[in-house]
Chain A
Amino acid sequence: MAYGRRPVLRGVSCTFRPGAISVVLGGSGSGKSTILKLIGGLLRAQAGRVVVGRIDITRFKESQLYEVRRRLGMMFQNGALLDSLSVLENLAFPLREHSGLSRAEITARVHERLAAVGLEDVDDLMPRQLSGGMVKRVALARAMMQDPEILLVDEPFSGLDPLSTKLIEALLVRINRTLGMTMIVVSHHIPSTMRMAGHVVLLLPDGVVEGHPTALQRSEDVRVRRFLTEETDTSEQILAHTHEFEAGEHTPQRPGGA
């Protein structure tokens, strides 16, 4: 898979198990979001195969993908809510389009989902009036509206304060436990990953390392160790690099993952 001249996910192969929360870790530009987009059919693989629930979607046309997408739900990094519609209308949208339910039934479902993510009285708010945490929760609710089999989550914790991060993490875990929903989460938030993932896929520049989070933490692999420590030491690194840059001594390199 390549973006223009930049190849990403070269020779990468991984499997996501049903019913588990799998987290895709990796530095910036490693192709984490690309994997999600490939599964959702938003990007087409240039080589290799993409199989969703035993269906090979690699060569699917747009119209064929629609069928597959009915079983998927995607929570975008910035919510991707339709900004001209209210929260209620945003959540009702997938049901209005695809289910034959009546207005009343749809509204009831919407309120159910909102309650499940801990939101009330937000029906008539517009997306721009919501806080970051609220946007994420509404996006999650929307992804759930059609009771998907697989939930694709893109950077659920980005831009959130620690409290909201814990909240979202709790929601994701609860959904997985109660509904047994398969989740594929892209993130670079190590602590949450370690807590909630049943399976971790680590994308490294030269390959992939998969495994249970505890296994990874105990891994002897140099690259894995470096990645895990780099991620946790990120803030210190940024500071160090900034000082060097200001002193004119150092061409800035991207610190791991920030």
Chain B
Amino acid sequence: MAVLLRRLGHFVGNVIEGLGYIAAFAGHIVAVTVRPPLRWREFLDELFKVGVLSILIICVSGLAVGMVLGLQGYNTLVRFGAENSLGAVVGLSLIREMGPVLTALLTTGRAGSSVTAEIGTMKATEQLDGLRMMAVDPIDYVIRPKAWAMAVAMPLLSALFIVMGIGGGYVVGVGLMGIDSGTFLSSLENAVDFHDDVAGSILKSVIFGTLVGLISTYRGYTATPTSVGVSAATTSTVVLASVSVLIFDYFITALWGV
């Protein structure tokens, strides 16, 4: 029993220590961000890798999710004779939850793991040390553009996901199920309010972007510099970031929301 308690105490201690490290890490990133040079070139390159290369998976997934929402939504609503509210159901689900959360999870898997692997490999091949010896802070040159790119790309990707999803729902509802086009759109427009829904959605995706950006770069930076270590770090990024996104999602929804 005592052993169990001690281990639990250890575990909690480790978690808090970890949080402390990651907070210090985040602080360091902010500190180097406000100092010149701007590293615009690197930021744009990273934005390309996180954003442009994710467009396909985000749009396809958005479309698919929207279509499923359309289908499931219709099947459920028609039982209450409320199928004309399909636009509202599809739109609100996507904007409030599906958009930010699924986009974050998909991006974690694709871009997040790739960032961790890249940084971890750079650590293993001494490139980070090489930078230090040339008097360049690796957190400034490598980490900062990647973290910021993730935070900026996330809301944009989320918006694309949502729009594709609404399109998918529209195709199913209006095209397949025969709901009137005007009804779908007006139900959608009437139900969605910028302040309650869209603003909350944008806030969520910005927070998720920051979270995933921080976690993926941190895990890469602190990876054990061997191939096993890098691979373990990559897996842990995906797990840690995904769980954090879901947990934060609850808290943001509870604190923001109606």
User: What 6 A-B pairs come out closest when comparing CB atoms?
Assistant: A80-B130, A80-B126, A66-B135, A74-B133, A69-B135, A94-B134
Q: How far is the CB of B45 from chain A (nearest CB, A)?
A: 8
Contact with B along A92-117 (1 / 0, CB 8 A): 01100110000000000000000000
A97–B135 CB distance below 8 A: yes
Provide 9 A-B residue pairs closer than 8 Å at the C-beta atoms, listed in order of the A residue. Answer: A40-B133, A42-B129, A62-B137, A74-B130, A77-B126, A78-B125, A83-B122, A97-B134, A98-B134
Within 8 A of A (CB), among B131-173: 131-137
B134–A81 CB distance below 8 A: no
Question: Which of B129, B135, B136, B137 makes the CB contact (< 8 A) with A80?
Answer: B129
B127–A69 CB distance below 8 A: no
Q: A70 contacts the other chain (Cβ, under 8 Å)?
A: yes
Q: How far is the CB of A143 from chain B (nearest CB, A)?
A: 8
Q: A72 contacts the other chain (Cβ, under 8 Å)?
A: yes
Q: How far is the CB of B163 from chain A (nearest CB, A)?
A: 33
Q: Chain B contacts of A98 at CB under 8 A?
A: 134-135
Which DSSP category, helix, strand, loop or mixed, fits chain A's interface? mixed
Q: Chain A contacts of B127 at CB under 8 A?
A: 80-83
Q: Chain A contacts of B137 at CB under 8 A?
A: 62, 66
Q: Chain A contacts of B126 at CB under 8 A?
A: 76-78, 80
Q: Chain B contacts of A65 at CB under 8 A?
A: 132
Inter-chain contact total with CB atoms closer than 8 Å: 53
Which B residues have a C-beta under 8 Å from some C-beta of A?
A: 122, 125-127, 129-137
Q: Chain A contacts of B131 at CB under 8 A?
A: 82
B125–A80 CB distance below 8 A: yes
A69–B133 CB distance below 8 A: yes
Within 8 A of B (CB), among A196-240: none
Q: How far is the CB of B258 from chain A (nearest CB, A)?
A: 46
Query: How many Å lie between the Cα of A37 and that of B135 in the bound state?
Result: 14
Q: How far is the CB of A175 from chain B (nearest CB, A)?
A: 17
Q: Chain A contacts of B134 at CB under 8 A?
A: 69, 93-94, 97-98, 146
Query: How many Å lie between the Cα of A17 and that of B211 in the bound state?
Result: 50
A76–B132 CB distance below 8 A: no
Query: How many Å lie between the Cα of A18 and that of B255 in the bound state?
Result: 64
CB-nearest residue of chain B to A90: B130
Query: How many Å lie between the Cα of A66 and that of B137 in the bound state?
Result: 9
CB-nearest residue of chain B to A95: B134
Q: How far is the CB of B203 from chain A (nearest CB, A)?
A: 33
Q: Chain B contacts of A94 at CB under 8 A?
A: 134-136
Query: How many Å lie between the Cα of A98 and that of B141 in the bound state?
Result: 13
Q: Chain B contacts of A77 at CB under 8 A?
A: 126
Query: How many Å lie between the Cα of A94 and that of B131 in the bound state?
Result: 9
Excluding A65-B132, A81-B127, 20 further A-B contacts by CB distance (< 8 Å) are A37-B129, A42-B132, A67-B135, A69-B134, A69-B135, A73-B133, A74-B133, A77-B126, A78-B125, A80-B125, A80-B127, A80-B130, A82-B131, A93-B134, A94-B134, A94-B136, A97-B134, A97-B136, A98-B134, A152-B133
B129–A76 CB distance below 8 A: yes
Q: How far is the CB of B118 from chain A (nearest CB, A)?
A: 9
Which of B122, B130, B132, B134 has the most chain A CB atoms inside 10 A of its CB? B134
Q: Chain A contacts of B135 at CB under 8 A?
A: 66-67, 69-70, 94, 97-98
Query: How many Å lie between the Cα of A151 and that of B134 in the bound state?
Result: 12
CB-nearest residue of chain B to A146: B134
Q: Chain B contacts of A152 at CB under 8 A?
A: 133
